[in-house]
Structure 1
Amino acid sequence: MEFRILGPVRIWTDGQEDALSGTKQRTTFAALVLAGGRTLSDEHLSRMLWDDNPPNTAGAQIHTYASRIRRRLGAEVPLVRIRSGYRLMADQIPCDYTEFTHRSQAGLQALRGQEYERAAQQLRTALALWRGEALVDATDHLIDAERPQLEEERLEVLEGWIEAELILGRHRQLIPELTRLVAQYPMRERFRALLMTALYRSERQADALSTYLDGRRILADELGVEPGRLLARTYEAVLSGEVRTLMPHQLVH
């Protein structure tokens, strides 16, 4: 058995995919998985299912969703009622989010320890666990509550992987992906700094400087602020030529 929430919410058993029965049931299951063994109250589940407008039968419906999930999981994966809530006891069940967290932590630790090949491999494997946007077929209420943090974790891992790849000298291959990421996240300074580094190391100093100036303009127009320390240091390194000798992790940390 395997749980998946980094994309469509699914249970896999003996190679068979179970999409559960409807958005509400998937939401209840995903919320319990994300709780990581903690008890979720009926009140919390109700907010994830209906926000501030639960039906009069909310308690009975939550009980029904839990009962159906329990039948799908079987006796070996307890879903227990604890006072006015539910707890999923599934530490032994593989889960894409749990594996993502484990691989991410190992990869980022390797990056800090200057084990760049290992960091790149671990972080690449972590990113491969994503099958689209997380919780894609759950309720908007659960998505609004949980996806921002999940997405932030994914982006931090993506930044770490790109940094490791840059250190390993793969700057030319990274430019198309970094260009796309800077366009998608124009105010995320680390992507822009990494793109500047990749461009400079590819003998494209003018493009690196243009990338900085574009970011400075966007930050001024959108937020009314100057570039942060990260972009400023990268800009200075490009101007002085230090990017040839300064490692990317020294620029971005």
Structure 2
Amino acid sequence: MEFRILGPVHIWTAGRQDSLSGTKQRTTFAALVLAGGRALTDEQLSRMLWDGNPPNTAAAQLHTYASRIRRRLGDAVPLVRIRSGYRLLAEGIPCDYTEFGRRSRAGLQSLREQDFERASEQLGSALALWQGEALAEVTDQLIDAERPQLEEERLETLEAWIEAELILGRHRQLVPELTRLVARHPMRERFRALLMTALYRSERQADAMSTYLAGRRLLAEELGVEPGRLLTRTYQAVLSGEVRSLMPHQLA
């Protein structure tokens, strides 16, 4: 059995995918998985399900969702009632989010230890666990509460993987993907700094400088601020040629 929430929420068991039945049942299950063994009160679950406006039958509906999830999990994974809440006792059950965190931490440690091939492999394998946007087909309330943090963790892992790849000399292959990432996340300065680095190392110094200037204009127009230390130092390193040997984390 395996729990998956980094994409469509489902349980993988006996070689088959069980997507549960209905948005609210998936939401209940995903919320309990994300709780990591902590109990969630009826009130907390109700907020995820009905946005603070539960129906009169909320308690009965929660009981129904919990009962249906229990049937799918079987006796091996207890879902227990604790006072006015529920707790999923799933220690030892593989979960894509838990595994993502383990691989990502290992990759970041390898990056700090300058084992760049291993870092690239570990971080890449962590990113491969994502099957689209996390928490697909759950309520908007759970998405609003949990997806931003999950997405931030994914982006930080992606940035670290790209940095490892750049150190390994794969700058030309990374330019198209970094260009897309900067367009999708224009305020994220580390992606822009990584793109500047990749462009410069691909003998495209003018494009690297244009990337900085476009970011500076955007920050001024949208937020009324100047680029942060990382982007400013990367620009200076482009001008001096220092960016050929230094990486963004060394410039921050």
Same fold (TM over 0.5): yes
Residue 217 of structure 1 aligns with an amino acid whose one-letter code is R
Residue of structure 2 in register with 1:177 after alignment: 177
Query: How many angstroms apart in 1 are the aligned matches of 2:86 and 2:53?
Result: 21
C-alpha deviations, 1:176-220, integer Å up to 9, x for none? Answer: 000000000000000000000000011100000000000000000
Residue 226 of structure 2 aligns with an amino acid whose one-letter code is E
Residue 15 of structure 1 aligns with an amino acid whose one-letter code is G
Alpha-carbon spacing, 1:248–1:224, altered in 2? closer, same or farther (3 Å): closer
Residue 131 of structure 1 aligns with an amino acid whose one-letter code is Q
Please state if 1:15 is matched with 2:36. no
Q: Is the 1:39–1:82 contact (alpha carbons within 8 Å) kept by the matching residues of 2? A: yes
Please state if 1:128 is matched with 2:128. yes
Residue of structure 1 in register with 2:140 after alignment: 140
Q: Is the 1:116–1:167 contact (alpha carbons within 8 Å) kept by the matching residues of 2? A: yes
**Structure 1, 12-21 or 238-247: larger mean CA deviation:** 238-247
DSSP 3-state at the match of 1:203: coil
Query: How many angstroms apart in 2 are the aligned matches of 1:121 and 1:191?
Result: 20
Task: Give 1:250 shift.
Answer: 1.1
Query: How many angstroms apart in 2 are the aligned matches of 1:202 and 1:179?
Result: 14
Q: Is the 1:167–1:248 contact (alpha carbons within 8 Å) kept by the matching residues of 2? A: no
Please state if 1:63 is matched with 2:66. no
Residue 176 of structure 1 aligns with an amino acid whose one-letter code is P
DSSP 3-state at the match of 1:17: strand
Residue of structure 2 in register with 1:26 after alignment: 26
Query: How many angstroms apart in 2 are the aligned matches of 1:171 and 1:250?
Result: 17
Query: How many angstroms apart in 2 are the aligned matches of 1:102 and 1:243?
Result: 31
Query: How many angstroms apart in 1 are the aligned matches of 2:245 and 2:134?
Result: 38
Moved over 2 A (4+): none
Residue of structure 2 in register with 1:219 after alignment: 219
Tell me the number of residue pairs that the alignment of Structure 1 and Structure 2 aligns: 252
Query: How many angstroms apart in 2 are the aligned matches of 1:116 and 1:143?
Result: 34
User: Counterparts in 2 of 1:29-178, with a 5 A limit?
Assistant: 29-178=29-178
Query: How many angstroms apart in 2 are the aligned matches of 1:228 and 1:123?
Result: 26
Residue of structure 1 in register with 2:250 after alignment: 250
What is the root-mean-square deviation in Å for CA atoms of aligned residues?
0.7
Task: Give 1:71 shift.
Answer: 0.8
DSSP 3-state at the match of 2:7: coil
Query: How many angstroms apart in 2 are the aligned matches of 1:42 and 1:25?
Result: 14
Task: Give 1:249 shift.
Answer: 3.0
Task: Give 1:113 shift.
Answer: 1.4
Residue 10 of structure 1 aligns with an amino acid whose one-letter code is H
C-alpha deviations, 1:34-89, integer Å up to 9, x for none? Answer: 00000011100000000121101111110110011001100010101111111101
Task: Give 1:91 shift.
Answer: 1.1
Q: Which segments of 5 or more consecutive residues in structure 1 lack a partner in the other structure?
A: none
Query: How many angstroms apart in 1 are the aligned matches of 2:244 and 2:5?
Result: 41
Q: Is the 2:163–2:247 contact (alpha carbons within 8 Å) kept by the matching residues of 1? A: no
Q: Which segments of 5 or more consecutive residues in structure 2 lack a partner in the other structure?
A: none
Query: How many angstroms apart in 2 are the aligned matches of 1:16 and 1:199?
Result: 45
User: Counterparts in 2 of 1:191-202, with a 5 A limit?
Assistant: 191-202=191-202
> Percent identity between the aligned chains?
82
Q: Is the 2:230–2:248 contact (alpha carbons within 8 Å) kept by the matching residues of 1? A: no
Task: Give 1:245 shift.
Answer: 2.1
Query: How many angstroms apart in 2 are the aligned matches of 1:80 and 1:246?
Result: 53
DSSP 3-state at the match of 1:3: strand
Query: How many angstroms apart in 2 are the aligned matches of 1:78 and 1:52?
Result: 27
